[in-house]
Amino acid sequence: MSATRNPESSALQRIARDPHSRRKFLALTGGTGVSAALLAACGDDDEETTPTTTEEQPMDETGGDPLADFGEGDLGIVNYALTLEYLEAGFYAAVIKSGLFKGDQLALLKVIGDHEAQHVDALTATAKDLGGTPAPEPKANFPLDSAEEVVALAATVENLGAAAYLGQAAAIQSPDVLAAALSIHTVEARHAAVLNTLAGEPPTPDGAFAVPADAETVLAEVQPFLA
């Protein structure tokens, strides 16, 4: 993947300019507030204005693209998201087997874990549809010392996942991939709100507006869990 992108050619920019595409996109994403806000922001831009909603892909310490190892273009973003979903699905599978939870809390974690497994399946299929090879599942190890610590970690994981999807939205080229990514993002955000509340934190720690996270930040955050 190139380290820089032309924001004028991104899916968000193209959708924002075409009323039919806007309606289709909002239908595909369920008309979420995030989807509408992103389109509204992009729709305010014209060819003579530098967009403020899109930034260049961040560089790592060696001057490279942090997503380069995942593939080119949308495939790289999909495989990046797939890697994060592998970690989330694996985390919940381990939590469910840990015996730390029972009753309603265990049932909730099973539902969230099932969602993450479905995300893995969907992103694996998307990578193949793009003509690429899905990212391999990484080996991971999660601390499962107490129920309280696990709930706090689960909230952290879900907040990070939601921020990661939002952080890539403006770089996605395919409207279909963008719609799929934002449909997963909104579910991750709902998971985060529930787990934040369960952990005794505000449901939306960033307030009324979600804050995106770039790939460099996200990959650094998950590194401690990789075996």
Across the strands, what pairs with 226? 140
Return the CATH number at 83: 1.20.1260.10
Question: Is residue 16 included in any domain, yes or no?
Answer: no
Q: How deeply is 218 buried, as exposed, middle or buried, from its count of CB atoms within 10 A (0-12, 13-18, 19+)?
A: buried
Question: Which token pair is 178?
Answer: 């963008």
Question: Is residue 214 included in any domain, yes or no?
Answer: yes
Question: Is residue 33 included in any domain, yes or no?
Answer: no
Are 96 and 90 within 8 A, CB to CB?
no
Question: Is residue 216 included in any domain, yes or no?
Answer: yes
Domain with 88 in it = 66-225
Question: Which token pair is 189?
Answer: 């955000």
Question: Is residue 1 included in any domain, yes or no?
Answer: no
Question: Is residue 149 included in any domain, yes or no?
Answer: yes
Query: Which amino acid does the sequence have at 92?
Result: Y
Question: Is residue 183 included in any domain, yes or no?
Answer: yes
- Alpha carbon dihedral 51, 30, 111, 223, in 10-degree steps, equals -10
Query: Which amino acid does the sequence have at 201?
Result: E
Count of domains forming the chain: 1
Question: Which token pair is 190?
Answer: 């709902």
Question: Is residue 165 included in any domain, yes or no?
Answer: yes
CA distance between the termini of the chain: 26
Which helix (H) or strand (E) segment is 222 a member of? helix 215-222
- Residue 49's φ and ψ, nearest 5 degrees, are -115, 135
pLDDT in tens, the chain (227 residues): 333 344 445 665 555 556 655 555 545 444 444 455 455 545 544 444 333 333 444 444 445 788 999 999 999 999 999 999 999 999 999 999 999 999 999 999 999 999 999 999 999 999 999 999 999 999 999 999 999 999 999 999 999 999 999 999 999 999 999 999 999 999 999 999 999 999 999 999 999 999 999 999 999 999 999 97
